[in-house]
Amino acid sequence: MFDKRDLVRLANMKMPFGKYSGRVLIDLPEPYLLWFAKQGFPDGELGRLLALTLEMKIEGLEEVIRPLKGFSLDAQA
């Protein structure tokens, strides 16, 4: 299950390590996410968000996420 704030995180959170370090999660290539799915997603929030990113891409919903780039979670408070 995910929170609607997770969608904003997918559009703004950057990959903290690896080949695609610095790239926003929703912009990660699907093959990279599939590799993580096979190897095991990292623990914690990052792993949960990477798994959600993969699901959004598989379902063809990444264009729903992209308009949220630059949106701040603080604005919702």
Q: What is the pLDDT of residues 49-60, one digit of tens each?
A: 999 999 999 999
pTM above 0.95, yes or no: no
| 46: pLDDT strictly greater than 90 | yes
Q: Which residue has the tokens 């929030």?
A: 45
| 45: pLDDT strictly greater than 80 | yes
b/e sequence 25-56, b meaning 16+ C-beta within 10 Å? bbbbeeebbeebeeeebbeeebebbbbbbbeb
| 1: pLDDT strictly greater than 80 | no
Q: What confidence score (pLDDT) does residue 77 get? A: 43
Q: What confidence score (pLDDT) does residue 71 get? A: 84
**Poorest-confidence range of 14-18, 43-47, 71-75?**
71-75
Q: Does residue 41 contact residue 51 with C-beta atoms inside 8 Å?
A: yes
- The closest alpha carbon to 10, from 74, 61, 75, 77, belongs to 61
